[in-house]
């Protein structure tokens, strides 16, 4: 009999909670990864960079496992079908994996667990991608927090070195299932092509030392670009949080706590994946002008900081946080386009796309989320530009034609008009 460890968004051998527990079970551990046909089918871009990233990571994982005389079994199917086949092929006693808090993942895991139960196989899941999960940080009355600041305070009050300790997986690698290498499907067998986007390296230690001073300026690399690695678990949150604690980099740690806050919110309020956290905001009469949406997507709105951000996103799969806040506010408040359109566009383009943080960020910007900026606070794109890119360095990089005003598009909307209209439309929806 064997145990199976199911890799998902935790693509590393070291300091991996579920893998650690599998290895300690005493059974030989077969590691598997399922390329989910359902998810891949829904990706429009057949050279989606995230698929390339996962593919490369899986390949490296497999090489690492082969050095230990084991191998990663990579399956291309729906989870349901994949498990059916695994059950006929192996004598499985227990399955191990890590928690995933997204609505789709929760349903998937419930279905798999039920199916395994019918075969008397235990399904053991662990917290891995956060320091504190779903119901570990709650109000005194046991209810989930819906405001960040008190959540953050409670988070720190609960933190002890225990939560930052890495899992010593290496000690137990001898318990991996021994096998000849399994064949790895090619990227094109999955219906995809290799993307030639560059992926950021895991390199954050020096950066976080002056994060507090540098993080707000999109022209400099003042942030870690670690989001992609957190998304797919190619870095351990315990390592990041413990480095931040050791260096007393509280500003940066606070951002990692925002990530956990939004994951907790999505877990408890799964409907917020496509509905405003504050239901009254679902009544806003969006204008949803498709031409304006297209101009926004392409970075041709005539507002240089908005355009620079969108072009950075389209070219690199990344956008600086300051600019994410502005382009999201501009789309939802200036253009009165449903925040869900923007959320979906980001979901297609961001390398670090994370449903919980993306929905959280969009709802914050549109004024309809947990800690939302009130609707009457409307960013002025010009004022933001003066404040955060005063020397126009970021603009020069992404919108070079801005230097020659005759070549740059006229603003697609007048700021003062947009501001008044937004106030009117939001107020109308909220006083219904
Ligand atoms: P750093 O500033 O170095 O921060 C380190 C890590 O902390 C990040 O990688 C991320 O995991 C986490 N983090 C930082 N800021 C936030 C935040 N405000 N909320 C939640 N987590 C945070 N972040 C995503 O990871 N995925 C998304 O899809 C996403 N969509 C966003 C959409 C909008 C409209 C907005 C306003 C913000 C969004 N963010 C998202 C949050 C933030 O912009 C990014 O996490 C950050 O810019 C990533 O760059 P970095 O890795 O250099 O972050």
62-83 tens-digit pLDDT:
999 999 999 999 999 999 999 9
Report which protein residue has its CA nearest ligand 1's atom 46.
321
Domain end (from 214, 238, 268): 268
Q: Which of 430, 405, 418, 243 is nearest to 332 (CA)?
A: 418
Q: How far is the CA of 427 from the centre of ligand 1 (A)?
A: 29
Out of 352, 366, 372, give the residue to mutate to test ligand 1, the one with the largest number of ligand atoms within 8 Å of its CB: 352
Confidence of residue 277 (pLDDT cuts 50, 70, 90): very high
Cα gap 266→275, rounded to integer Å: 11
Measured in whole angstroms, the distance separating CA 208 from the mean position of its chain's CA atoms is 20
Known binding residues for FAD are: 211, 252, 255-262
Residue 315 sits in a domain of what CATH number?
1.10.579.10
- Does residue 209 sit in the same domain as residue 240? yes
- Does residue 424 sit in the same domain as residue 283? yes
Tell me the sheet residues that pair with 125: 97
Q: Which of 329, 356, 352 is nearest to 342 (CA)?
A: 329
Confidence of residue 280 (pLDDT cuts 50, 70, 90): confident
* pLDDT higher than 80, residue 311: yes
- Does residue 348 sit in the same domain as residue 261? no
* pLDDT higher than 70, residue 373: no
Query: What integer is the mean pLDDT of 256-266?
Result: 98
Domain extent at residue 69: 1-128
ipTM over 0.95: yes
On whether the CB atoms of residues 381 and 330 are closer than 8 A, the answer is yes
Query: What integer is the mean pLDDT of 9-16?
Result: 98
Query: What integer is the mean pLDDT of 228-248?
Result: 96
Q: What percent of the chain is modeled with pLDDT above 90?
A: 94
Q: Which atom of ligand 1 is nearest to the CA of 320?
A: 47
Cα gap 427→115, rounded to integer Å: 49
| 172 assigned to some structural domain | no
- Does residue 115 sit in the same domain as residue 133? no
* pLDDT higher than 90, residue 431: no
- Does residue 106 sit in the same domain as residue 242? no
Q: What is the pLDDT of residues 380-408, one digit of tens each?
A: 999 999 999 999 999 999 999 999 989 99
What is the pLDDT of the chain when averaged over all its residues? 96
Domain end (from 214, 247, 268): 268
| 82 assigned to some structural domain | yes
Report which protein residue has its CA nearest ligand 1's atom 11.
227
Q: Which of 407, 422, 416, 408 is nearest to 381 (CA)?
A: 416
Q: SS3 for 350-390, per residue?
A: CCCCCHHHHHHHHHHHHCCCCCCCCCCCCCCHHHHHHHHCC
The residue behind tokens 């240089």 is 304
CB atoms within 10 A of CB 283: 13
The DSSP output letter for 191 is: T
Q: How far is the CA of 357 from the centre of ligand 1 (A)?
A: 7
Pocket around ligand 1 at a 6 A CB cut-off: 215, 223-227, 230, 255-256, 258-259, 262, 321, 324-325, 328, 346, 350, 352-354, 357-358, 360-362, 365
Q: How far is the CA of 358 from the centre of ligand 1 (A)?
A: 8
Q: Which atom of ligand 1 is nearest to the CA of 227?
A: 9
**What pLDDT score does 155 carry?**
98
**What pLDDT score does 279 carry?**
87
Measured in whole angstroms, the distance separating CA 1 from the mean position of its chain's CA atoms is 36
Q: What is the pLDDT of residues 164-177, one digit of tens each?
A: 999 999 999 999 99
**What pLDDT score does 432 carry?**
73
Cα gap 390→393, rounded to integer Å: 8
| 408 assigned to some structural domain | yes
Q: Which residue has the higher pLDDT, 206 or 257?
A: 257
Cα gap 172→178, rounded to integer Å: 13
Cα gap 124→9, rounded to integer Å: 16
- Does residue 327 sit in the same domain as residue 343? yes
**What pLDDT score does 430 carry?**
86
Q: How far is the CA of 65 from the centre of ligand 1 (A)?
A: 31
- Does residue 296 sit in the same domain as residue 392? yes
* pLDDT higher than 70, residue 325: yes
Q: SS3 for 321-338, per residue?
A: HHHHHHHHHHHHHHCCCC
Cα gap 317→313, rounded to integer Å: 5
- Does residue 213 sit in the same domain as residue 336? no
How many Cα atoms sit within 13 Å of 197 on the Cβ side?
Answer: 24
**What pLDDT score does 372 carry?**
65
CB atoms within 10 A of CB 213: 10
| 174 assigned to some structural domain | no
Q: What percent of the chain is modeled with pLDDT above 70?
A: 100
C-alpha separations of 278 from 145, 208, 269, 272, 430 in Å: 14, 34, 11, 9, 10
**What pLDDT score does 375 carry?**
83
Q: How far is the CA of 216 from the centre of ligand 1 (A)?
A: 12
Cα gap 261→249, rounded to integer Å: 18
Q: Which residue has the higher pLDDT, 352 or 430?
A: 352
Confidence of residue 89 (pLDDT cuts 50, 70, 90): very high
- Does residue 46 sit in the same domain as residue 157? no
Out of 255, 326, 329, 373, give the residue to mutate to test ligand 1, the one with the largest number of ligand atoms within 8 Å of its CB: 255
Structure tokens at 10: 């935790």
Query: What integer is the mean pLDDT of 278-287?
Result: 91
Report which protein residue has its CA nearest ligand 1's atom 52.
225
Out of 230, 232, 236, 321, give the residue to mutate to test ligand 1, the one with the largest number of ligand atoms within 8 Å of its CB: 321
**What pLDDT score does 248 carry?**
86
| 188 assigned to some structural domain | no
Least reliable range by pLDDT among 46-55, 116-125, 143-152, 242-251: 242-251
- Does residue 241 sit in the same domain as residue 368? no
Q: How far is the CA of 85 from the centre of ligand 1 (A)?
A: 38
**What pLDDT score does 387 carry?**
98
Q: Helix, strand, or coil here: 410?
A: coil
Least reliable range by pLDDT among 32-41, 83-92, 422-431: 422-431
């Amino acid at each position: 009999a064997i145990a199976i460890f199911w890799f998902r968004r935790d693509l590393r051998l070291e300091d991996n909670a579920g893998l650690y527990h599998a290895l300690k079970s005493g059974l030989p551990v077969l590691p598997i990864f399922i390329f989910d046909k359902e998810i891949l089918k829904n990706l429009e871009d057949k050279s989606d960079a995230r698929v390339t990233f996962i593919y490369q990571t899986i390949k490296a994982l497999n090489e690492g496992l082969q050095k230990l005389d084991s191998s990663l079994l990579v399956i291309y199917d729906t989870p349901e079908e994949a498990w059916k086949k695994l059950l006929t092929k192996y004598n499985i006693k227990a399955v191990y994996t890590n928690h995933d808090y997204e609505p789709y993942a929760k349903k998937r895991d419930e279905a798999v667990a039920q199916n395994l139960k019918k075969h008397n196989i235990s399904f053991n899941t662990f917290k891995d991608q956060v320091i504190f999960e779903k119901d570990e940080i709650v109000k005194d009355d046991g209810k989930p927090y819906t405001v960040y600041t008190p959540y953050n305070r409670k988070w720190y009050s609960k933190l002890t070195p225990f939560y930052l300790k890495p899992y010593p997986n290496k000690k137990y690698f001898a318990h991996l299932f021994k096998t000849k290498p399994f064949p790895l499907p090619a990227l094109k067998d999955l219906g995809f092509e290799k993307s030639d986007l560059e992926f950021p390296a895991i390199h954050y230690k020096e950066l976080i030392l002056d994060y507090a001073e540098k993080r707000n300026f999109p022209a400099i690399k003042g942030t870690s670009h670690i989001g992609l690695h957190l998304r797919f678990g190619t870095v351990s949150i315990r390592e990041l949080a413990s480095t931040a604690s050791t260096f007393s980099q509280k500003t940066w740690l606070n951002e990692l706590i925002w990530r956990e806050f939004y994951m907790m919110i999505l877990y408890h309020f799964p409907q917020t994946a496509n509905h405003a956290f504050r239901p009254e905001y679902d009544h806003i009469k969006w204008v949803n002008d498709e031409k304006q949406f297209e101009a926004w997507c392409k970075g041709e709105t005539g507002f240089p900081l908005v355009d620079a951000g969108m072009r950075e996103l389209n070219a690199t799969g990344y956008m600086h946080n300051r600019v994410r806040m502005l382009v999201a506010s501009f789309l939802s408040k200036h253009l009165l386009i449903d925040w869900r359109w923007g959320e979906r566009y980001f979901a297609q383009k961001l390398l670090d796309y994370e449903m919980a943080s993306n929905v959280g960020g969009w709802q914050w910007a549109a004024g309809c989320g947990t800690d939302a900026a009130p609707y009457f606070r409307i960013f002025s794109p010009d004022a933001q530009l003066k404040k955060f890119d005063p020397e126009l360095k970021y603009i020069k990089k992404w919108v070079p034609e801005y230097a020659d005003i005759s070549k740059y598009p006229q603003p697609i909307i007048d700021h003062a008009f947009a501001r008044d209209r937004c106030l009117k439309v939001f107020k109308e929806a909220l006083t219904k």
